[in-house]
Amino acid sequence: MNRIPWSADLRVVAQRFGDQHAVADGQRRGLSYAQLSKNAHGLAGRLIAAGLRPGDPIATLLPNCLQAVWTSYGVRLSGAAEVSLNWGYTADEIAWSAQLVPFKAVLTDARRADELRRIGLEPVLVDELDLADDGATLPPVPAQAHSRMLFTSGTTGRPKAVVYDHGSRWAGEQLLRATLPFVPARGERIVLMTPFPHGASLLTYAWCAYGGEVCLLGGVELDVLERLLTSAGVDALFAPPTVLAKITTAFGARRFDGVRCVFTGTQALPASLYRKARAMFGPVVRITYGKSECVNPITVLEPADVDAYFDVHAARPGACVGWPASGVEIRINPVAATQAQTVRDEGSLEAENASGEVWLRARHMSLGMIGVDGFIAHEPEGWHRTGDLGYLDSMGRLVLTGREADVIKTGGYRVNPDEIEALLQGLERCGPVCVTSLESDYWGEVIIAVAEQAGQGWREQAIERVASLSQHKRPRLHVALDALPRNPQGKINRREVTRRVLESQVFIDGPYPKLEPR
């Protein structure tokens, strides 16, 4: 497909669904399909009139709100490249993004205007724009022009800009729509709570193609979510494990019937958390695998398959994320000397050389990334090295076992912290536990377990949980923090956890390492 008719597609949707709500927020404000089209086309017209050409970068910096939706649609209609900035970014993070991608203007609101000016950027306040729409359909945009730029989480270094063109963006949206567990009917509601620049926007575009309603919350607004679940009717929600943990903790043993699908992904779903989610919503949890470099869906595990997997393999290391979506190729590239963890499957032993780094190739994948040294293309023949470790099980499903960058080298062994964390989830006397390491002259690295909001006796409980592991895999030190640092996507940042530990503790190295308060 050489040209993408974004404008014509939105005109058709607006004609079909008119005054039906496309998007609503937690304050009961709504944006109809007709208003969405009017605002998006009005913004696109202004951008084109200002000289923005297909592929030219312009940034968006908005919280989860109605404006974020029509602004994103408007940039796409214009053919420009939307540089999606997370509302939680600091001024330094925004400046770094602008260094990687040379945008000057930022579509935002008044709350960030002065901050943007101080770092040399031009804020364009979307609420103050005069958005006139003459009803004309804009020309299709070139498929090869840059369309969207997302940023990696920065857990293994400074963030990089991931580049999509309009063709790959269109292909990704079609694949996501084709793999939805059901086609949303007019007015059927999905609740989204994660930052719009990432998973929330993908599901918004897919849902609105069918006339459904997207309820976009500013975060995990438990009072609003409770009202929606009990009285307004919710057909689906997107809740990665960090969000699911908050919901199940807040609502306890309550049951919410009527939700047809709980979409989850972004990180491993512990068996204990799955059991809580199943008790609350029923067997409707659906797992997908996606990355900034290749958006959802890479793989899909439907609710019935999720339920069957956890019924049989609840104690098995790794996270099963399902079968490749149509057109997605996956291969496991052996990693030299990984000492890949051994995986037991109903009594049989998976060959260690079947584990390695996950490589993938797909039509909806990004073009590559922009780093400090410029553009970085994918591997020859179009393969993307994900940095994720895993294997394909006997049924052809992808099982993720960790990140190559997170592997800990201790006492001559290579240890995957995810394997340890899986055993430490759901401890009764603390919140989430992060497994990371401290540099050691004696051991190479020392494995530590760091708990959030820990209570009395959590260390003893943690030590008991990992007793089945080989001695070299067991944490040597246990630390409690008030809160575990997370990136804007809600993932715990291991490097930042280590830094926080060393801020308050002095590490004493040796055969019996220890930590002492500063």
What pTM value is reported for the model? 0.83
What's the one-letter identity of residue 516? E
Band (345; pLDDT cuts 50, 70, 90): very low
Band (337; pLDDT cuts 50, 70, 90): very low
Distance CA 126, CA 109 (A): 6
Q: Give the number of other Cβ atoms within 10 Å of residue 230's Cβ.
A: 12
Band (441; pLDDT cuts 50, 70, 90): confident
pLDDT recorded at residue 338: 41
What the block records as the tokens of 329 is: 């190729």
Lowest mean pLDDT among 207-211, 242-246, 277-281: 242-246
pLDDT recorded at residue 488: 65
Q: What is the mean pLDDT of residues 102-131?
A: 96
Could you give phi then psi for residue 398, rounded to 5 degrees? -85, 130
Question: Which run of H or E residues covers position 227?
Answer: helix 222-227
Tell me the per-residue pLDDT of 376-394, one tens digit each, with 9 for 90 and over. 999 889 999 998 889 999 9
pLDDT recorded at residue 270: 81
pLDDT recorded at residue 232: 77
What the block records as the tokens of 378 is: 């994918």
The residues, any chain, with a CB within 8 Å of residue 408's CB and separated by 6 or more, are 414, 415, 416, 417, 436, 437, 445, 447
Band (346; pLDDT cuts 50, 70, 90): very low
- In the chain the domains, ranked by start, together with CATH numbers, are 407-517 (3.30.300.30)
Q: Is 418 left (phi over 0), alpha (psi -120 to 50) or beta?
A: alpha
343 pLDDT more than 60: no
Q: What is the mean pLDDT of residues 477-487?
A: 90
> What strand order describes the sheet that includes 122-125?
122-125, 105-108, 57-61, 81-85, 146-151, 161-165, 368-371, 374-377
341 pLDDT more than 80: no
Q: What is the mean pLDDT of residues 128-140?
A: 94
Q: What percent of the chain has pLDDT over 90?
A: 68
pLDDT recorded at residue 418: 82
Q: What is the mean pLDDT of residues 439-451?
A: 89
Distance CA 93, CA 97 (A): 6
496 pLDDT more than 80: yes
Could you give phi then psi for residue 427, rounded to 5 degrees? -60, 140
Q: Between these two residues, 317 and 419, which has the higher pLDDT value?
A: 419
Say whether 214 sits in a helix, a strand or coil.
strand
What's the one-letter identity of residue 433? V
What the block records as the tokens of 311 is: 């019924």
Tell me the per-residue pLDDT of 145-201, one tens digit each, with 9 for 90 and over. 999 999 986 555 678 999 999 999 999 999 999 999 999 999 999 999 989 987 789
Query: Beta strand pairing status for 368-371 and 374-377?
Result: antiparallel
Q: What is the mean pLDDT of the chain?
A: 90
Band (315; pLDDT cuts 50, 70, 90): low
Q: What is the mean pLDDT of residues 337-354?
A: 41
Q: Give the number of other Cβ atoms within 10 Å of residue 52's Cβ.
A: 19
Q: Between these two residues, 230 and 354, which has the higher pLDDT value?
A: 230
Tell me the per-residue pLDDT of 19-58, one tens digit each, with 9 for 90 and over. 999 999 988 899 999 999 999 999 999 999 999 999 999 9
515 forms beta bridges with 507
Considering only CA atoms, which of 5, 15, 82, 23 is closest in space to residue 47? 82
CA 263 to chain centre: 12
85 pLDDT more than 90: yes
Tell me the per-residue pLDDT of 203-221, one tens digit each, with 9 for 90 and over. 999 999 999 999 999 999 9
Cα distance between the two ends of the chain: 61
Considering only CA atoms, which of 316, 376, 310 is closest in space to residue 344? 316
Please check whether residue 31 is in contact with residue 69, taking contact to mean a CB–CB distance below 8 angstroms: yes
Q: Which residues of 132-167 are buried (b: 16+ CB within 10 A; e: fewer)?
A: eeeeeebebbbbebbbbbbbbbbbeeebbbbbbbbb
Q: What is the mean pLDDT of residues 256-277?
A: 89
Distance CA 250, CA 265 (A): 20
Q: Is the peptide bond before 297 cis (omega within 30 degrees of 0)?
A: yes
Considering only CA atoms, which of 279, 277, 59, 82 is closest in space to residue 163? 82
502 pLDDT more than 60: yes
Band (495; pLDDT cuts 50, 70, 90): confident
